[in-house]
Structure 1
């Protein structure tokens, strides 16, 4: 029986082997032949067209394998992004620096880099004397580069020249600079640091009176000026302490004579360099605790306040941002475009970060309208940005797709696909949608962007998401103010949710403080944002009372912004403690000041000025003076009730024109003038809930009451 069973098994085995052999023979007949059998193979797959199809499939497969997206792992848990310090104050700190929860903060990243003087020298070593400062002489010209060692030598010579002109080499000597971004700006700054001097930037929106006030308060003897027009602006109201202007560009003989008549000498930038090289004064490097810059804020009522920042303040702020950028941190191979004002700390910090690691900075040619041309020529990998720029890009794309169903459909498909990738932690610009839909947007910014840092004002959620999808780079949004150098919080890689500003950076801690009059309470995770750390300023120059008011007894900086902790440990800015707000381009608006000017118009009985941080202009609700308007209407043969007159275009034009005249006479800047008004027939009153018992405007209630009209005005202004 066993023998018979073995025979049956052998027969089955032989049958299986025969079947496998037959299958192999059958398949072998259709395997890809060698070259000598190529004609037969082409015939089998359908001729040359079939071969082309297979080649296309193979190419597509190869392209996918090469461009296959790789998800990035968040550096902190996205549902728990900051550390809550035990205690009643509910303080939060960074998870990027373990010691922060013990009250210790980042001061520097490198032991040999504790001042801005050190930072530039470290960059020279890291880059191996690579390109440092770039510029171009015309819109069709390529970028030219000043390398690190040459920049160091020229900066040292310029600083030596300042000493030769009589300035003392110490942190009590202030040097003014009034210029657009350019290599000479950085050479002036670094030249001053070679001799422990302090840089005081001036800028156009300050106005001539404020510039004169700053020069006088800081006792500035020398201001480095860009050109003839800026020289003449300073010569309009020169304080007695101002004795020299150093110009980067040629000035007219008439300007030279005008300066001479005021006892001011004008020198060329190169002359000072040559003088410094001849004298070769020994460098006097600053200490980390020395003040490096005084940044005057233009933001509120009265004279500007000088924010004193030390070398340690700035180095700590830059170090903490580099830490929080994680895998996307800047390196010596990065190229940054410089177009935001160097007078403000957001741009300064970005550039200092690049110099610290040995990267390159190319300056725009001076015309923001041609910024895209500069980006195409420079091809930057890193850029700071502000909402106003990104809003323009977004609006242009929306305009381009609005009249085409096909474009709109492709755009929506592209956005959906890219948003899904971003949610999965994928950041790239080599997908099919990047090539089909977003190529022009990316090429308009040089085509190589990998990192964008957004600040100065809030960015709308839809614009932020669009920017992340369209540019295919890491876009982080930060919150801060000059008194904290720049950054207080910063979003982290992998967090795709908009409408918050991230967790605290590693150089500071943040807490929220009760604001009972506005019904914000820290126990409910709402309140005024307060900051303590190595980035907090030294005080306001020559204003100890204002310093005490802002820093408080316990050293916490009170920002005046109302924040809210989200469940994942990130901060959201929801309000402003005082009635001051910032427009999308970063300009501060004090509505009461503007209202007090417009109320002088004979046609205006009550006025409510409103602006939003996502808009670039302000609007107003006006209650006209009944008697004056009715008299004007009778004289101009216009009949109707006050409600009818409020809707009449000629009445609106009359009132707005008069308001603008009053604004001009009072010296309002263009961004402080309303761009549209709504006329309302019924007065604000205590009874209708729009005034307090002391007859002050209830701003939140007015905003809510007139929300439809405000939205309508802004819609028409787009």
Structure 2
């Protein structure tokens, strides 16, 4: 608000808030922040300062969250028995589509730990009845010719997890397939793994049958009704000779647990062949043993600070992604309730009568950066559409909160007036959240922390490390910090003499300062070793030798540095630094993280794709323009026309470029990493059209190929 009447009100509210802080002893936080000294968050292994581990776990890496549990079957069995009468899984009945973009939900249904234990055992027995056998305890899978693998091609839902639990109880390996990938990916996984049984959604049964001749080993299709309303009819095709098509419920009902009691796996039995989302070429299948996932769960339990038998977890990320699978097994082992949803129904904008966050009120949440960015922009859009007085109050609250966070105290008045209402939209109970799967914009991280009042910490890992490698401390408020080594792993930096920073200097493990002059304990490619690290890729010896060395170190391909306190900061990728015409380097992913924070960028539609190469002087970008923000901006600035008209309006373009300059000015990007031109788009990038991976990561080449004409018009603007 611009009215001068609100200036004294603003200072009065901030002063009153601070007064309440003083009389409630909130000022103690200032003293605690001023005197806090975290010391070294990691310590060197031996004499090598660039080889580090958490102090408490030096020479004693953690291996299991539950003493005596060496496999996922062990973890689940102990959870089922200890928490038998507590709720284990919850989901809402899908009623239908309220509008083309809003799902309507009805009653909520629950299963206890005891009930999940029974039904998963019956599913496992049914797998044995369908001809599957226990897998031998080995990772040399090329030598295994028995039918000992189950494929799951379905969205995250209770049936997905129950199927995996049942398979693991019979020593059967699960091959995961992202539900958003097409039938080519299914064929690849089925044929590579001698798959005879697959779990899928009822909507996909017909497509599988049409391809049956290309998948001769496939004999049984078990279908779920996830997100299919009772009033909806999905016809099944005729069952071909030699095949069985059966509902998930009927398949479980046919499981004979007396004839096929559990066949517990060994720690070295392969639990999962997890196919990466395929950012480059054919997806790679990562071979992950029970020992690996259990080790990662041990670290996850410690870092999450699980309240056994009390916490509530929201499960909505793809279970075909290792981060979600690992997290859910942590929850099962510790008696935590898992509530199932999908990414597009988290808030009331995509669900009726309430979003999943508000309905289930989780205490712990894991999300990828895109989700946090969407939540931030959705909240900002609501504030922008609210009356001026409400906007004034929210802006004042954030200003006060920003200052308070800097010095270590809280804002009790604004918590009651503003932030309490924000919390209600996400259930009001979130006490901790993790961002993983990619770098998190610092501005987004700060916004979420301040708006909702819980620590949002970054995690860093890969499928090959079972999601975990480093984790940011809750009291670490710095941007861009990936964190410290998790309790089940150690990390070291390996010099990359052929890869240079922006100043043209190679990344060396012996470096003691970085390109900004900050103290570091080495720079180089991040490598890791620990119980949670995979042994390699399925039927891909060349890729395995490239990423896994003979000493057991996995080479991530990410360039990092150990900061002065021993935390890792990722600064580059071996294959993602681009050299411009003048020989200078720019970091495309970092630029996308910074510029993607603009309110004009539609994160849901795919975000922004930055481009530069050796023929160019400066970078350019293709970006999805956010309709809601653009229409509000146009109305405020007296510009008329529908969204397609605004896409081509020079004034809109000028506003976007102005905002991009502001985002650049707030960042630590170099002057060379300033965008000189953008192309505004309104054709969303999705996994279905190949512009995003199944994990919603940008497919740069696919975007450029899909928008070849627009790109050809754009690129010359970066050549002077």
**1:415 corresponds to which residue?**
398
Give the Cα separation in 2 of the matches to 1:538 and 1:462.
Answer: 37
Write the mapping of 1:526-537 to structure 2, written as runs, cut at 5 A.
526-537=523-534
* TM-score (structure 2 length as normaliser): 0.70
Q: 5 Å matches for 1:233-252?
A: 233=208, 235-236=210-211, 238-249=214-225
**Matched residue, 1:106:** 62
Q: Mark the runs of 5 or more structure 2 residues left unpaired by the alignment.
A: 1-15, 95-103, 137-143, 501-506, 512-521, 580-585, 597-606, 617-647, 654-677, 693-697
Per-residue CA shift, 1:498-539, capped at 9, x if unaligned?
211111111111111111111211112211111111111021
Q: Are the counterparts in 1 of residues 155 and 179 from structure 2 also a CA contact under 8 Å?
A: no
- Post-superposition CA distance 1:163-196 (Å, at most 9, x none): 0111112356110011111111111011001111
1:151 has 2:126 as partner: no
Partner of residue 41, structure 1: none
* C-alpha distance after superposition, 1:671-710 (max 9, x if no partner): 6324764746869xxxxxxxxxxxxxxxxxx8xx89xxxx
What's 1:584 paired with? none
Match of 2:52 among 92, 95, 108: 92
Q: 1:168 and 1:296 mapped to 2: Cα distance? A: 22
Partner of 1:346: 323
Contact 1:163/1:281 (8 A) holds in 2: yes
Structure 2 CA distance for aligned equivalents of residues 405 and 648 of structure 1: 28
Deviation at 1:253, TM superposition (A): 8.2
Matched, 1:473 2:454: yes
User: Counterparts of 1:234 and 1:413 in 2: how far apart (Å)?
Assistant: 59
Matched, 1:488 2:469: yes
Mapped to 2, the partners of 1:120 and 1:388 lie a distance apart of: 31
Shift, 1:425, TM fit: 6.0
Decide whether aligned partners of structure 1 residues 660 and 446 sit closer, same or farther in structure 2, where only a CA change above 3 A counts: closer
Task: Name the counterpart of 1:562.
Answer: 559
In structure 2, do the counterparts of structure 1 residues 150 and 128 end up closer, same or farther at CA, with 3 Å as the change threshold?
closer
Deviation for aligned residue 1:289: 1.6
RMSD: 3.9
3-state SS of the aligned residue for 2:67?
coil
Match of 1:522 among 505, 509, 515: 509
In the alignment, structure 1 residue 329 sits paired with structure 2 residue 318: no
CA spacing shift, 1:526–1:151, aligned 2, 3 Å: same
- 2:12: which partner in 1? none
Give the counterpart of 1:194 among 169, 174, 187: 169
CA distance in 2, matches of 1:530, 1:161: 41
Residue aligning to 2:364:
382
1:370 aligns to 2:350 (yes or no): yes
Q: Is the 8 A contact 2:54 2:487 kept in 1?
A: yes
Q: Which residues of 2 match residues 441-480 of structure 1 at below 5 A?
A: 441-480=422-461
Gaps of 5+ in 1: 1-56, 582-590, 592-607, 625-646, 684-701, 707-718
After the TM superposition, which residues 555-594 of structure 1 pair with which residues of structure 2 at under 5 Å, given as runs? 555-579=552-576
Q: Structure 2 vs 1, CA of residues 682 and 391 (structure 1 numbering), >3 Å: closer, same or farther?
A: closer
- List per-residue Cα deviations over 1:278-322 (Å, max 9, x = no partner): 754121111112111110012343321110111111111121132
State the partner residue of 1:311: 290
Q: Is the 8 A contact 2:274 2:286 kept in 1?
A: yes
With normalisation by structure 1, the TM-score equals: 0.70
- SS, match of residue 220 in structure 1: coil
**1:543 matches 2:540:** yes
Describe the SS at the equivalent of 1:304: coil
Matches within 5 A, 1:116-135: 116-135=72-91
Write the distance in 1 (CA, Å) between the matches of 2:475 and 2:408.
5
Looking at structure 2, the residues matched to 549 and 133 of structure 1 have their Cα atoms a distance apart, in angstroms, of: 40
1:82 and 2:62 equivalent? Answer: no
Match of 2:626 in 1: none
Q: What corresponds to 1:628 in structure 2?
A: none
Structure with the bigger percentage of helix: 1
Residue from 213, 235, 248 that aligns with 1:269: 248
Moved more, 237-246 or 526-535: 237-246
Mapped contact 1:458–1:613 kept (Cα < 8 A):
no
Partners of 2:292 and 2:466 within 8 A in 1: yes
Question: 1:673 is matched with which residue?
Answer: 703
**Using a 3 Å threshold, how does the CA distance of structure 1 residues 288 and 63 change in structure 2: closer, same or farther?**
farther
Structure 1: distance between partners of 2:407 and 2:344? 38
Query: 1:107–1:278: structure 2 CA closer, same or farther, 3 Å change rule?
Result: closer
Partners of 1:613 and 1:536 lie apart in 2 by: 29
Of residues 126, 133, 157 in structure 2, which corresponds to 1:161? 126
**How many Å separate the matches in 1 of 2:480 and 2:423?**
24
Change (3 A) 1:206 1:457: same
Q: How far off is 1:440 after superposition?
A: 3.4
SS at match of 2:498: helix
Q: Is the 8 A contact 1:457 1:613 kept in 2?
A: no
- Give the drift of 1:347: 1.0
1:12-27 matches, within 5 Å, as: none
Distance 1:311 1:366, change over 3 A: same
| CA drift at 1:239 | 1.3
Give yes or no for contact 1:609–1:621 (8 Å, CA) kept in 2: no
1:621 to 1:301, Cα distance in 2 relative to 1, 3 A: closer
- Residue aligning to 1:44: none
The question of whether the paired residues in 2 share the 8 Å contact of 1:142 and 1:377 is answered with no
Distance 2:407 2:77 in 1: 40
Secondary structure at the counterpart of residue 43 of structure 2: strand
Check the 8 A contact 1:123/1:359 in 2, yes or no.
no
**1:193 and 1:151 mapped to 2: Cα distance?**
14
Relative to structure 1, the CA distance from residue 562 to residue 91 in structure 2 (aligned partners, 3 Å threshold; closer, same or farther) is same
1:511 is aligned, of 484, 487, 492, to 492
Distance 2:256 2:30 in 1: 53
Name 1:596's counterpart in structure 2: none
Question: Quick check: 1:219 aligned with 2:184?
Answer: no
- Kindly name which structure, 1 or 2, has the bigger radius of gyration based on alpha carbons: 1
* Structure 2 residue 97 is the aligned partner of structure 1 residue 136: no
CA, structure 1 residues 407+444, in 2 after alignment: closer, same or farther (shift >3 Å)? Answer: same
- 2:350 is paired with a residue of what secondary structure? helix
Aligned-partner SS, 1:313: helix
Instruction: Report the Cα distance in structure 2 between the residues aligned to 1:402 and 1:366, rounded to whole angstroms.
Output: 24
Once the two structures are overlaid, the 10-residue window that deviates more, 390-399 or 466-475, is 390-399
Between the aligned partners of 1:341 and 1:234, the Cα distance in structure 2 is 24
Q: For this pair of structures, how many residues does the alignment match?
A: 563
- CA distance in 2 between counterparts of 1:681 and 1:473 reads 42
In structure 1, C-alpha distance between the alignment counterparts of 2:164 and 2:202, rounded to whole Å: 18
Q: Distance in 2 between matches of 1:195 and 1:400?
A: 50
Q: For residues 289 and 409 of structure 1, what CA distance do their matches in structure 2 show?
A: 59
* Contact 1:196–1:285, Cα closer than 8 Å, also in 2: yes
Taking the aligned partners of 1:409 and 1:252, their CA distance within structure 2 comes to 50
Bigger mean CA offset, 275-284 vs 238-247: 275-284
Residues 434 and 279 of structure 1: CA distance in aligned 2, closer, same or farther (over 3 Å): same
